[in-house]
Amino acid sequence: MYRPHYHFTAPKGWLNDPNGLIQHNGVYHLFYQHNPYSSVWANMHWGHATSHDLVHWRHQPIALAPSDDKSAYDAGGVFSGCCVIADDGTPTIIYTGVAAPNYTPQVPALAFGDANLQTWHKYPLNPVIPPPNHLNIVGFRDHTVWKENEQWHQLIGSGIRGQGGCVFHYTSANLLKWDYVGIALQSNDLPNAGHNSGTMWECPDFFSLPHPNQAPSMILCISPIPLNQVHYVLGEWRNNRLTPHAQGILDYGTAMWAPQSFAAQDGRRIMFGWLRESRPNHEQSIDTWNSVMTLPRVLSLSTDGKKIMSQPATEVEQLRGEVYQSAPQAIHYQQPVTLPVQSNCCEINLEIDPADAGQLMVTICHSPNKEERTTVIYDHVHQSLWLDTTHSRQNSASGQANAAPMLLVQGEALKLRIFIDVSVVEVYTNQGTCLSGRIYPLREDSKNITIHCNRGSIFLQKCEIWSMKNTVGESPTNDDVSK
């Protein structure tokens, strides 16, 4: 019922972290954590899909599976990692193997692929790195690997009991034998002295982003347990440590987790993240699928070099179908404008001058009387943007209201791109801010779109709404934009 039409999901079963993202010989490869047998978390495999355009994906055979030998280092599952091309041209996966039955220990392991990344075999000398035994760690998993000055580097997510999250640093000449260097970053290194930075840092992703007027910044993205949002740290990589200069939140919703990025051959840094389900557990367990990926996001640095900005990859525009366009108009307090469009599978592109309104609201996926509704709110007074899903499902308290800072300079319009895909909402702004959420309306008529304000007036400068073409599962029938 809630399976999206144009966000990537597995053909069936459970999906979580994106893994091994890479563009190789012109083909995009998306690996991901996958349970092919059930829609609940268990039996972690590496699923695999390929694409030539980032939006249309072809499912491939499963790349990695847990060992059948119950005493093996990865009998409990093949957990998250990354993919690189070794010096001799061999595609190489670095993943976390976990033992059965309690998923410990967690150890780095290798697998080697053919030229097309279709067939993989595990390194017979796995695992390749033992957990550090001189520290009382919380977890030891997930890998980000890069090459620098003829040497391979690897960061592994972890945490130290009583001290907070951290990433361990290793180096290698050949990807096979790794030497421990030390802790590259830990909680108390952060600008906020580690306050509210989590006890375990999952899924580290380490990369650089260029800036037109400054030296490139090194960025570390982490998914800190028990927090519900992905954080990033910008800084300088020096003497095998990351010296932080700024930190922030990558997506101000609470649906996205464990993102991974890769360098495309055209120079873009492209990221996917896992959008977690928030519907009741019993609904998830009886369904045939679970969870989706975000749209492909292109990352860049803000003008001041202190913030990561995210925008949908231009390839997403290939999915646009019929368009509805509204003439520019003023919208006054107590005179909401409900657009002549009904859809739960569309892209909405808006430019709105907040004028003298305290708040402007775009209410989507709402029933005629708004018993069910999802609302994007710009609070002009408090300079914040909200995604409110607390009423997305009638008679349910499963949603949340999440806010992002949003300061518009004098005369600047708010530009919003809102992607709705049945149970997925992704919101992007002109300032590169993202909020993602999951919604599960019960009513078939929860497809209305209304724009309004809480006082004064706003001016709708641009309004475009596209139907979106199906790329996943069955073709939509009544979910197209209708005028």
- Percentage, residues of the chain above pLDDT 90: 90
Q: Residue range 328-356: average pLDDT? A: 96
CB contact set of 120 (below 8 Å; sequence gap of 6+) = 63, 64, 93, 111, 112, 113, 114
pLDDT number for residue 193: 63
Parallel, antiparallel or unpaired: strands 269-275 and 297-301: antiparallel
pLDDT number for residue 396: 78
Q: What is the pLDDT of residues 71-80, one digit of tens each?
A: 999 999 999 9
Q: Which CATH architecture has domain 13-312?
A: 5 Propeller (2.115)
- Does 190 have pLDDT greater than 70? yes
Q: What is the pLDDT of residues 206-254, one digit of tens each?
A: 999 998 888 888 999 999 999 999 999 999 999 999 999 999 999 999 9
- Percentage, residues of the chain above pLDDT 70: 97
Q: What is the pTM of this model?
A: 0.95
Closest CA to 14 of 367, 373, 284: 284
Domain coordinates in residue numbering, the chain: 13-312, 321-468
The length of the chain is 483
Q: DSSP states of 7-74 as a string?
A: S---SSEEEEEEEEEEEETTEEEEEEEEETT-SSS-S-EEEEEEESSSSSEEEEEEEE---SSTTSTT
How many C-beta atoms lie closer than 10 Å to residue 126's C-beta? 18
Q: Residue range 297-314: average pLDDT? A: 96
Q: What is the pLDDT of residues 365-419, one digit of tens each?
A: 999 999 999 999 999 999 999 999 999 998 876 789 999 999 998 889 999 999 9
Q: What is the pLDDT of residues 246-292, one digit of tens each?
A: 999 999 999 999 999 999 999 999 999 999 999 999 999 999 999 99
Q: DSSP states of 467-480 as a string?
A: EE---SSSPPSS-S
Residue type, 308: I
Peptide bond into 476 cis (omega under 30): no
Closest CA to 141 of 53, 229, 200, 54: 200
Q: What is the pLDDT of residues 99-121, one digit of tens each?
A: 999 899 999 999 999 999 999 99
pLDDT number for residue 480: 39
Domain 321-468 annotated CATH 3.30.1490.20: no
pLDDT number for residue 473: 44
Parallel, antiparallel or unpaired: strands 374-379 and 359-366: antiparallel
